[in-house]
Structure 1
Amino acid sequence: MLTTSKINSLKAKEKPYKVSDAHGLHIYVRPSGTKTWRQKYRINGKEKLLTHGKYPFTSLAEARKLRDVALALLEKGNDPAKAKRQAKAQLSNTFGNVAKEWFDKEEINWKPIHSNKVWRQMERDLFPILKDQPIDQISPTDLLEVLKKVEARGALDVAARLRQRCEVIFKHAILTERAQTNPATQLVGVLKTKKVKHLNALEAKELPAFFSKLEGFDSHAIVKAATKIVAHTFVRSQELRFTTWAEIDFENHLWTIPAERMKTQAADHLIPLSDQVIELFTILQQHNGSREYVFASPQRPKQPISTNAMIQLLYRMGYKNKATVHGFRTTASTFLNESGYNADAIERQLSHGERDKVRAAYNRSEYLAERTRMLNDWSRYLASMNENVIPLKTNKSEN
C-alpha cells in the first residue's frame, strides 16, 4: 500500500508508470512529473478507468475516500464514471452558472454602466437564494418567493425587470437542454405594477410661449443653444452633451453620433441638420470652436455641460413639473405623427431602431431623405413660432 512519503519519493521517468495502492486505486506518474490518482474497475464485463484528481491537491486519504465511494456505487450496480459525469453536469446546471452564461453572451451589446447594473441586481436579489439551485428544479413558486421579497421593499420596477431577465435566462437553459419549462413566463401579471408616469412634455400649442421665453431668458448661450438643438433634432441629452466638432459635417448638413454614445450601441446615428440647426452650431463655434466638446461647459471648458444643465434651465424658466429635456422627443413625435409623416422615419429619427449591430449598420442611413425633409419642415415650424402659431403643413397626402 502507498504512503505519503513513498508518493513524494516517486520520480519522473522517461515513460509514464503507475504504483498501486489497493482495490484498484493507483497513482499514475507522467514523464512531466505530474502524479494523478486513478482507479481501475470493471462493470458489465468491461474494464474502465476513473480519475480522482492530482496529487498533492488530492491527498492519499482523500483519494481513498473517493475510491470507496466508487466501490459503493459499483456494489449497487451503478457506474462511478457515469455518476461523476452526472454530478459535474448537475454542477453546471445551477441557476448561477446558466445566468452567467446568458450574461456573458449579452453584455457585449451593453454599455458598461448597464452591464454592471444588471449583474449587481442579480447578485443582490437572485443569487443569494437561486445561485446554487439546479435550474431545472426551480418552480414558479420558488421564483415568485424571491421576486416577492424585492416587491416587498417597494422596488416594483426592479422586480418586474428581474422577472424579465429570469425569463430569458430560463429560455437559455431550455435552448441548451438544461431545463424543460420556464417558470418566469408563468409569473406574467402576477407581480404588482407601478403606475406609469410619463415624462412631462409640452404640447405643440405651448411651444411658441416656451421659445419666446427662452429667447429672452437670462442663461448662458451654450445651454440655450443645446436646448434649442434638442428641440429641433430630438436627440437624447447623453447623445448631445459629448458631441465633438468632428461629428458635425457643416458642408453636408449632417451630424454623426458614434455608436458607443447611443442607447443601443448598435450603429452610428445620422442626424440631418436643418439650416436653423447649422446656424446654432455656427454660434456655438464662436464659443467653443477651439475646444474638444461642442457643448463645453462655460465653467469647465475641458468638460461638456453637466447632465442637469438643460433641465435646470427649464426649471428656472418655470417649467418644473411641466416639461423635461426628454419631453421634446415626445412633443415632436406626437406632432409629426399627427401631421402624417412616415412613422418609420420618425422612429428612426428617435433612434428606436434595430438593436442588432449588423442590421443596424446596414440601416443607419434608412429614411435619411425622408428624415431630412421632415426635420427641415420641423425646424421651419419652430423658427416661425410666435404667439400666433403657424401650423405645420400636413404631410398625409404625400404618404
Structure 2
Amino acid sequence: MLDAIVRFFTRTFQAIGRGLGLAVAFVLKPFVWLGRWFTSRGVILKILLGVFLLGIVVLYGYFFWTTQRWNGFDPDYARVYETRTGTEAGTPKTPTAGIITSDEDAKETETAVKTCRRSLLVDATADLVDFNVNQNAWISSMLLYKIGLFGLDWDKTPFFDNKASFQRGVNQAVRRTTIELVDTLGRVRGTSQIDPDLQSARGSLQFDESTWYFGWSPFGPKTPTPSFYRSAAKDLKKFNTRLEKCEAVFDARADNLLQFVDRIANDIGATSAILRERSENYNSGWFDTRADDRFWFAYGQLYGYYGILKAARTDFADVIEERRLTALWDELEQQLRASLNIRPTIISNGAESGWLMPSHLATLGFYVLRVRSNLVEIRLVLDR
C-alpha cells in the first residue's frame, strides 16, 4: 500500500516536471531560434541589429526610470504660498512711508503706488505645470507609454502607469483653475475683455494629453503635449508680471471666490463618483488593474488643489477675513493635507468590509468627500 502511494506521488511530480520543462522550452524556443539565426548572419547585420536592440534597451530603461522617479514631489509644497502677507492679489502696494522733500521723491512715490501684488494663485498654477512637464517628463505622451505593453494600454496593467495618472490628476486641477481665471478672476465682473495671456494659457492646457512628435490622425509631424503646457506656464508668468505692473486685473471679489470654490467642489464631486463606481463594482483587491490609475488620478487632483487653494487663501485674504471663513478654510487645508498622507505601495480595491485586502479607493474617497463637504460649507457662507 505504501509503495503504491509513493509511486503515485513519484509519477505525479515527474509529470509536473515534464510539463514545466515543455512550457519553458515552448517559451524559450523563439529566443533559441533568434539566437541561431543571429549567429549565422554577417558582421554588418549583427552590428545593425545590436545597435537596434541596444536602442530598445536604452529607451525602455529611460522609460522605467522616469515612471518610477518623481522629481520635486512634496506633500508640503503648498507652504510657500502662505509666506507673503498683505492685501489681496491685484491691489496696489502701499508705498514706503516717508517725507516727500523733492520732486524726485514724489516721482518715486508715484511709481511705488503703481506696483500691484502678484497672484499666488497664478503662481501656484504655473508651478504645478512646471512640476508636471519641466521637473518631470510628461509620461502620457511618451512613445513607449503610447505603445503600451505588447499593444495593451499601460492603464489596463498594474505597471508603470501611476505617475501618468497622478500627472493627469494634477493637470485636471490646473485646467479647471485656468478656466476660472479666464472667465471670472482675470476680468472685471465679466464685462471687460478676456486677458490674452490667460486665454492663451487656457487654450494650451486644453490640448490633448497624449500627443507625441508624430501622429496618424491627421498623419504627419506634431507639436508634443509638453510643449503646449510649457507655453501655458510662460503665459501665466507673463500675466503675473503684468499684474505686478498694474497692467492686468485680478478681481478678488466674494462672488468670484464663491464661483471658484463651487466649480472645484463640482470637479472633485465627479472624481468621487469615479472612485465610488470602481470601489462598489470591482472588488478584486490587489488584482484590480484599473484601481491604481483611479487612485492616483484622484490623488494628483487633491495634490494640485492643495496648492491652488492655499494660494487662493492669500489672494482672497480680505474676503476670507470679512466673511469669517478662517476656521472653515483651516479645516479645508487640513483635510487636503491629510489626504496626501495616503501613499500605499500597491493599490488594493477590496471589499469595504473585507479583512484581507484593504480598500484604498474607499479610503481616499472618504477624504475626497470631506474636502468637497468643506468646499460646500465655504460656498454656503459666501452665498449669504
User: TM-score category by the smaller chain?
Assistant: under 0.3
TM-score normalised to structure 1 length: 0.25
| Larger gyration radius, structure 1 or structure 2 | 1
TM-score normalised to structure 2 length: 0.26
By percentage of residues, which structure has more strand? 1
